Homo-oligomer: A and B are copies of this chain.
């Protein structure tokens, strides 16, 4: 594990933040981090290939959305809440709320076995 670098506050751009949230996998990571405050990569990987996930962490780091603390060989990821809020006030909160809304909408189609469990 070589250089894990994070952009400075002023180098965080809206364009990059949006770019980072373009992918459902990364949206999921951010959404989960919002509830866990800190999590290792392996916890978030959910069985997906390491190299793919490592790519997503990098995109999220480069965008300024998350920071990674290294402890031994394991990496702890967390949202850069306070910093992001300093740079773009209110944005992260609005994004997190939007993620919750969006997840609700999709849940209607995936879960909710009601229609099949109540035949007559």
Interface residues of A (CB under 8 A from B): 10, 13-15, 17-19, 21-24, 27, 87-91, 93-95, 97-99, 101-102, 105
Contact = CB atoms under 8 A, between A and B. Distances in A.
Contacts of A93: 90, 94
A90 B18 CA distance: 16
A17 B21 CA distance: 9
Contacts of A97: 88-91
- Top 6 A-B pairs, shortest CB-CB distance: A88-B98, A94-B94, A18-B21, A18-B18, A91-B94, A90-B94
A93 to B, nearest CB: 7
Given A88-B101, A90-B94, A98-B88, A24 B15 contact: yes
Nearest to A16: B22
